[in-house]
Structure 1
Amino acid sequence: MIRRATVLFLAALLPLLAGVGQAQAAGYRYWSFWDLDGDAWTYATQGPSTARPADGDVQGFRFAVSEDSADATRPRGAADFAAICAKTPAKDGEKRVALVIDFGIAADAPSGETPPDGRTACARVPSDATTAEALASVAKPLRYDSNALLCAIAGYPEKGCGEQVSGGSAPAPGKPEKSEGEDGAKSSAPTASSSSSEGDGGPSLGLVAGIAVVALLGAAAVWQVRRRG
């Protein structure tokens, strides 16, 4: 009898715990920064203001909702230096950097906004220029928040900056520190302290409700065992 009650209790508990875990998942809407390594995109290990690409490099930006760098969505579209910079001749003392700018999909756009079509651009900048300077030369206007987080490229989005869009107020696990960009601008997964999130860092209503239900189920199971014993 006790074994049967325990099995029933665990069967009811597992879906609840799964639901609580899903309720705690968080997503952040932001521009991520990428390097092209061979034929594959890799999440940049430096921010745009400290990265100094070489002539012939390809770098990308993608606007999307992601939990962290491991979950970040890669840029789409052609990423070929020869094609992107075909009409931009080399020049002494300068370098060419191919940029892929992916404005994302409608599902990730802020309310009332529509993502523009993706674009590519060949930035010809001084040989010591950073990625942020290359981006500013081909994709103005750029927008930053008070913490110098890169919020918009080519004016998109018009509002919002690294805000949390779902789940609890705790930052997603493994979220990297933000890297600095142009004029100290940062472009990486935002942390809870730099994003506009709801709540005060305490447990979410879903978590509290889940714990309460689990406690009730446990008490009911014990009561059943004692009644039939």
Structure 2
Amino acid sequence: MPLAPLLLAPLLGALLLVATAAPAEAAGYRYWSFWRATDTGWAYQQQGPAVSVPPDGAVDGWRFAVSPDGGRDAARPRAATGFAAVCADTPAQEGRKRVAVVLDFGTAADAGSTEAPPEQRTACAAVAPNATSAEVLAAVAPPLRYDTNGLLCAIAGYPRAGCGEQLGGAAAAGGPADGGGHGGPDLGLIAGGALVAVLAGGAVWQTRRRRSS
């Protein structure tokens, strides 16, 4: 076997490892997450609000924030208000259920714009027994805004624009998603350029070797 491939193989392998070793940036999303209060705290809701039917006496919670995809690790509502406190001034009615709603509009850092988030607030909805959480929310916090796929984008008109934007790790640190720079060269491009250089050098070496033999 020619000497050049023997010398090049380990180097090429090392360059390929370098090119693939850069960790993937953790993706986050700016969105409204949906929760329900339990005896032990907030529980993330796997069902969407258009499907979930809260029972009488339930507490639905909503939090706008930048959170990872997957739900359970999303930012929870910061308030821990119970049903009795929220619905104390809303008397029970025959044929209606009462559902407490906690709205946490997040922080200025969550907003991702110059739009100031509203203060946290609570409300008590008196709705039909079969009303979904989406209907509960519409009763106490209009206007709601949805995208074409049915994703809830805004509660009480907040935010005015955007819907579930994906943000990478670079965006959180001032990367391209928020108008900043990369902050450094791309490792994959460097490794790819080095690989091309090595292959070119090997080809030149082989050509000179053939001419001299």
Decide whether the 8 Å contact of 2:41 with 2:80 is kept in 1: no
Q: AA paired with 1:208?
A: G
Structure with greater Cα Rg = 2
Greater RCO, 1 or 2 (C-alpha within 8 Å, sep 6+): 1
Decide whether the 8 Å contact of 1:123 with 1:134 is kept in 2: yes
Secondary structure at the residue paired with 2:92? coil
Percent identity for Structure 1 against Structure 2: 56
Q: How far 1:210 moved relative to its partner?
A: 6.7
Are positions 1:113 and 2:115 aligned together?
Answer: yes
CA distance in 1, matches of 2:63, 2:83: 18
Scaled by the length of structure 2, the TM-score of the pair is 0.71
CA distance in 1, matches of 2:100, 2:94: 17
**Structure 2 partner of 1:82:** 84
Aligned residues: 171
Q: How far 1:166 moved relative to its partner?
A: 2.2
**Structure 2 runs not aligned, ≥5 long:** 1-13, 171-176, 178-184, 197-213
Summarize deviations over 1:111-147 as a string: whole Å, max 9, x none: 2211110111101101111110000000001111122
The equivalent position to 1:145 in structure 2, one of 144, 147, 164, is 147
Deviant stretches of 4+, over 6 Å: 213-216
Counterparts of residues 1-229 of structure 1 (less than 5 Å): 17=21, 20-21=22-23, 24-68=25-69, 69-167=71-169, 206=186, 208-209=188-189, 211-212=191-192
Q: AA paired with 1:161?
A: C
Decide whether the 8 Å contact of 2:33 with 2:62 is kept in 1: yes
Root mean square deviation of aligned Cα: 3.0
Secondary structure at the residue paired with 1:96? strand
**Structure 1 runs not aligned, ≥5 long:** 1-8, 169-196, 198-204, 217-229
Scaled by the length of structure 1, the TM-score of the pair is 0.66
